[in-house]
Structure 1
Amino acid sequence: MSCFPNKTLKKLYQVEFPTREDWETNSLTWKNGSLLWYTDGSKMGPNVGCGIHGVRPRLSYKLNMGRHSSIFQAEVYAIITCADLNLKRGYVDKHIYINSDSQAALHALASVTQTSWIVENCVNILNTLGESNTVVLRWVPGHSDIEDNESADELAKTAARETFIGPEPFIGIACSLAKLTLLNESTHLSPEVWLLNKSLVHSKALISAYSAKHCREALSLDTNGIRMLTRALTGHYGLNKHMSNIGQRENKECRFCHTEDETPVHLLTQCCPLMGVRSSVLRRHMPQLEDIKSVGARKVRFSLLSALALHCN
């Protein structure tokens, strides 16, 4: 498999972007005796389909592409299939017009750089067709009552409604779909796993559900800041309770109040001698755990550093 991006300098086909007005006023010209095709892709529910409508020759083709294909892939694959139909018919010295309402697909095919396998495949098959014919890709405005384009659209919709037959995925997974799947996993499934975990008592006390804002804030810290924040949120900070647990100190009491175990939760919410520090940073003398969860990574880290600095002074 090719490593992307790739470059193809030789293009044996043309890509045109006429205006909507050109189509509405019938200003476009077609070579006499030319072959005229319309292609489209559509998504209906979870499934994607592509359709090809031939004006000259009279031919219709549709295909269900399963639930893992993207609209962009369907649009490009429709052009691939259309070009392949022309190759199999053995056309030579013909003017072949392939009309698509996907500007994204046409711009990708017009570009020198290809960033996906399906686009590179389409460029190659169009170049093969262009070796013996004049091939023109044209943008056609979608949903503009252009009869032949509406026919291609209906074929694509019909294909998307049909049952997919064969193993999935039909073609490679689009990068955008992979990113969306990972995003859904992180924002929807990971909180469920987090809540169902019966351990991590200290971490759950300080960390709420997934927050993109807090993640960005934490990742903006330097390496040392991230290390200290992680230790604080997981209870593995160098405080007396943790150091006692690992056998490094005998006393686990708070060095400030000497009444409870010294943990990040205690310092951030309960320790009375640190009320002034918490008030200056968190705006509360005795904040609740929910208050800590909402303030963000920087303030949590700064509060602990301020408390420990006070001890050093």
Structure 2
Amino acid sequence: MEVMLNLPPLHLHIQQEASLSAVRLRTLNIWSNITGALHTTCLEKVYEFPVLRAGTDRIHKQAIFDKRYKIQLYEDDNYEGLNPRELRIFTDGSKTDSGSGSGTFSEDLNMSITTPLGSHSSVFQAECMGIINAAAAITARKVVGFSIRILSDSRAVLMALKSHIVTSKLIHECHERLMEVCQNNKITLQWIKGHSGSRGNDAADELARQGSGAGAIGPEPALPIPFSKVRSMLLARTGKLHTEHWLNQTGCRQAKQAMPSINGVTDSPLCRGCMEKEETASHVVLECSGVAPYRAKHLGSPRDLPEVLLNIKALAETARVQPALKTIQAVNDQRILCVSI
């Protein structure tokens, strides 16, 4: 039954959760490394993945209430309009099989920045780095006394910046950079729909894609490891140990012939695409970083499920030929989109 349902044996599940807790405690500098203590062995097993020695993006909860920048989570038709006192900067992030990268573009500041971020960074981090680079460029160019609009198609990053509780090192750095440029400028971060024909957004997207295909400059990881990646690596390790445990057991000869490997259902509520949030329809269609390339290609950057449903026929046709989205069913009277990945 464990094999059919992909439920790891209790001892493997405990090892997995202990290892995850050890990484979290070690990252927050509250890990007690007592020589000879049995509990320290779980962290040693984690370091079978050398990349995890570099540390993760997790920090202690930081409460921030003094934000001087404005965040606008809706489109403004005049964002590319003529306003001599407003400067516009477009940012974007990209992740492909080759790696990840961020792009920052501004005609007003003659800015065209592409940043390779390597294979370990998430698309969320790439989007965040685009904003960090925009703030750094404002400081480097000594821009003073302007109204500056930074446009990003990542609602996830903007919502993380809008939250008063921060647990990400990169988001905290982004906040500090923005607060620095707010001392001499008026800063607005605005959501923009991706792939909507905006020249600035398309240019930032192209720069981000160039960065994702260029490979990181210097040693990796270029950024702190996302905690979601830690979890996915430990889950993969548990799956491997579960398979070994199953094959090394005595008996169950016919069952092993029928199921030589473990690939069943899972009871985890976490999204299988990003391992960051609960796998709901709205998360998969609007936020999940794991399917971000498919969402950008086929949906752009929809702001909500009703907007997706406006073009449900084209989306359903795409689903028949797109392996990443196997089943899409619209229930129009309740306006619910059920997605199975």
Residue 44 of structure 1: how far off its partner (Å): 2.1
Give the structure with the larger helix fraction: 1
For residues 227 and 138 of structure 2, what CA distance do their matches in structure 1 show?
30
Give, in whole Å, the separation in 1 of the partners of 2:266 and 2:123: 33
| Aligned-partner Cα distance in 2 for 1:214–1:179 | 15
- C-alpha displacement at 1:210, in angstroms? 4.6
Shift of 1:196: 6.5
Would you say the 8 A contact 1:31–1:95 is kept in 2?
A: no
TM-score normalised by the chain length of structure 2: 0.55
Counterpart check, 1:121 vs 2:177: no
Q: 1:108 aligns with which of 149, 152, 160?
A: 160
Cα distance in structure 2, aligned partners of 1:9 and 1:86: 23
TM-score where L is the length of structure 1: 0.60
Three-state SS of the structure 2 residue aligned to 1:155 is helix
C-alpha separation in 1, matches of 2:182 and 2:153: 21
| Alignment partners' CA distance in 1, 2:209 and 2:237 | 29
Q: What does residue 250 of structure 2 align with?
A: 201
Report sequence identity in percent.
Answer: 30
Larger Rg: 1
1:44-72 CA-partner distances (Å, limit 9, x unpaired)? 21400100111211110001100000000
Partner of 2:213: 161
CA–CA separation in structure 1 for the residues paired with 2:266 and 2:254: 16
Structure 1 gaps, min length 5 = 217-313
State how far apart, in whole Å, the 2-side matches of 1:97 and 1:39 are: 11
Which range moved further: 205-214 or 1-10?
Answer: 205-214
Q: Distance in 1 between matches of 2:267 and 2:191?
A: 42
- Alpha-carbon deviation of 1:138? 0.8
State the Cα distance separating 1:212 from its structure 2 match: 6.7
Q: Please say if residues 59 and 168 of structure 2, whose CA atoms lie closer than 8 Å, have aligned partners that are also in contact.
A: no
CA contact (8 A) 2:216 2:222 kept: no
Deviation of the 1:186 alpha carbon: 2.2
Q: Evaluate the alpha carbon distance shift between residue 178 and residue 27 of structure 1 in structure 2; reply closer, same or farther with a 3 A threshold.
A: closer
For 1:71, the aligned partner's letter is: V
1:174 and 2:226 matched: yes
Aligned position for 1:276: none
Task: Determine the structure 1 residue equivalent to 2:126.
Answer: 74
Q: Closer, same or farther in 2 for the Cα pair 1:14/1:27, shift >3 Å?
A: closer
- The DSSP-based 3-state class of the residue aligned with 2:178 is helix
1:93 aligns with 2:145: yes
Shift of 1:175: 1.4
Measured at CA, do residues 155 and 3 of structure 1 come closer, stay the same or move farther in structure 2, by a change above 3 Å? closer
Aligned Cα root-mean-square deviation (Å): 2.7
Whole-angstrom distance in 1 between the partners of 2:200 and 2:163: 27
Aligned equivalents of 1:67, 1:190: Cα separation in 2: 25
Residue of structure 2 in register with 1:13 after alignment = 69
Unaligned 5+ segments in structure 2 are 1-27, 29-57, 269-341
- Count of residue pairs brought into register by the alignment: 209
